[in-house]
Amino acid sequence: MSVTRLWPTWASTVGGMLDAASLVAFRCKRCGTHLRVDVEAIAARRGRDASLVDAIGHCKVWDCPGRGYFLAALGPTTPLRPLVSTSVEELFRRAPPPPDHDPDNDPDRPPPCPPGINAVTWAYATASERKRLVGQARG
Ligand SMILES: [Zn+2]
């Protein structure tokens, strides 16, 4: 039997978390790293109605193919709580299989860095910047 948690309004949408100035973090299930989440960037990409409750994200740690979940707190003195309606184990049990064995299917993962290009610049470049970088590297 699973218990479904009800979330306060501020935590159920990205816009609500922005309005509440809440702290949002991501925890990787694989490497255990906690990362601060840029909620404004998520709101800009997916809209203020997007929700991080029961969302599974990809770890942003260099070379970590892991996935993780989101946590939020109303302020620095409030403990972070997982934004998971049942349990973290249950969330990942129901999730589709990870694309670990086929990282090419991950749209957020940049294509491999060609020789002659700075790997960090490549990782943060947009698709059009990458075209320019490849052009520069070829001379
Ligand atoms: Zn990780």
pLDDT in tens, 93-131: 988 776 555 555 555 667 788 888 888 888 888 888 899
Cα 50 to chain center, whole Å? 13
CA of 130 to the centre of ligand 1 (A): 25
Q: pTM of the full predicted structure?
A: 0.66
Q: Where are the alpha helices (DSSP H) in the chain?
A: 9-12, 14-19, 39-46, 88-94, 119-124, 127-138
How close is the Cα of 26 to the center of ligand 1, in Å? Answer: 10
138 alpha carbon – ligand 1 mean position (Å): 34
